[in-house]
Structure 1
Amino acid sequence: MECKKCAKSYDLMCINIPKEKFKTFTHTGPSSTAASKDDVSGNINITRGGKPGVKPKTTREDPMPNTELGTLIVELRQLRHEVTEVKKQNNEIKNQMSLISENLSHNLHEYSKKLQNAEEEIVALKSTLGQLQLKLAAQDQDHLKNDLEILGIAEQANENLHQIVITASRKVGVQLAETDIEDVMRVGSKISKQPKSSASTRVSRPIVLKLLRRRKAEELLRAAKSRRNLTSENLVDGHPAPIFFNERLTRENRQLFREARKRTKEYGFQYCWIKNGGILVRKADGKPAKRIYTNEELDEKVGPPKHLVNDEDRIP
């Protein structure tokens, strides 16, 4: 239906006119006064929209002309192509990174195995070195098996050491001849001259007696051990002092024995002694004797130095 004033069209649904009723209407216009029902119905749109058979005109409210839409489509296709290329590059980078990661992981695993093997070799070498050191120390000590140290005999000028050790041996009940002696000497740093008033407090160097046979050395040690209160009386001039016959030790074992004696006193051990060049300790009667070869074993079997224990106790 057209408006006579503005020539715009209306549809029946908007003006609320039933379709059957509208078919009874006639068409009027400036060029004619009447028309058939077929003419009227052919000029009317009975559904929502504009005139029948007429496409809607493009208005200013349209979102975009066809040219701009085409340009947008081209740009979107180009953008999609670029995104696809970026995805391909990302996939290539991802694959390369995965390969690098696998190679790095493999290399790290190999290096870890080599490092572990090296550490095991170092541990084995340290163990072997420790065993060799103990073996060499035992050999060095074995070379001194015929040697004895005699302590407590005052050192005097122009002393006759051969006569002194023979007389001392007789005091313990062993007959020692010149033919039994390989050598005899004082060992250690020579004591500087001091006033006679301090001679009684002076510490004399030990006498080392080298014997030709181990059996003679063992005989002297047993005899000296059985004699109590053995002194230097009738051996040298001066006030009598206690004398001792001991096995001779290497420098390392001598230091270890000195530390063992100190440590056993600190921890209440009753016995610390030397036998066949070895250091032994015993906590009390009835307890087993323990052989000490190294400072580490001394820490383990007796205890660490007291000053270290006290320092650890003071740590907050």
Structure 2
Amino acid sequence: MSAVGQPPVPRPVPAPAPWPGPGGPPRLLLLTDRSQLSLGRSLVGTVAECVEAGLRAVVVREPDLHPRARHALLAALARLPGLVVISSRLPDPAAHGVHLAAHQRPGRWATSAAGPVVGRSCHAVGEVRSAAAEGAAYVVLSPFGVSLSKPGHLPPLPRTAYAEAADAGVPVLALGGIGRDDVAAALDAGAHGVAVMGAVMRARDPAAEVAALLARLPPTRLPSTRCPATWASRTRGPTTRFPAAHLTPARAPAARATRARELSRPVDRSAGPPAPPLTRHDGAVDERTARDDARRPTRPDLT
């Protein structure tokens, strides 16, 4: 029987990747760049402060780190209660997922040890549609404005691009030159939320900047406080269990106590010898120091 005249068979569209933590994709996503931190401030300690201020998701960049140092960094951050840790471009078993660059295809990463491909960087509406068709849980669309972190990289996108991208059916986070005063414009343009790097990394008080950004964003759906949320960390060890109170900006005593218990777990050194550095000065400390640093007060910003 001839197939001429038969309607084309629709191609299956993959389901969106599940967000690897409680609730859906957050309204605020932090991207790291330890080179922008104030002198004397550590990346692990800074992110820990931001988690207490309400941060729920971080994309770890730091491409210059030695693989062991980067793994140690991801593992230390994954111990922070309520934080979804996403590895940028490179899979890592300590992360909850992978964030791909615009030029990377998800095929060979989809079943990586780092878990699902969660996010994708995009610079055009067509790239957002492709990411949605490939099952991304969220995308970042940039640049929204003039970025101090990447001056002259690309011209800002027209605001209409965010409304068009939102029609692709995947949460779109605006990235590039975003500060607290730009949140309303990003939301008005059609973005689900914002992704921020420099405004937090360069801030004198990064946690206060995170709190200010969250105050300008709609709340993200969170689990009921009557039913503690449980999700498995992809680091070696038992499942991380934490109450939903850890996901809110409130600095409850119970939240701090649980965080201290999580950070005091024995360190798994089966991956090899201690890793290189993580601070702005020289780039690394070993995994135990990175974990302890999250509990230690950081030196005041002197810049």
Q: Tell me the TM-score normalized by structure 2.
A: 0.24
Q: Tell me the TM-score normalized by structure 1.
A: 0.23
Structure showing greater radius of gyration is 1
Structure of greater relative contact order (alpha carbons < 8 Å, 6+ residues apart) = 2
Q: Which has the higher helix share?
A: 1
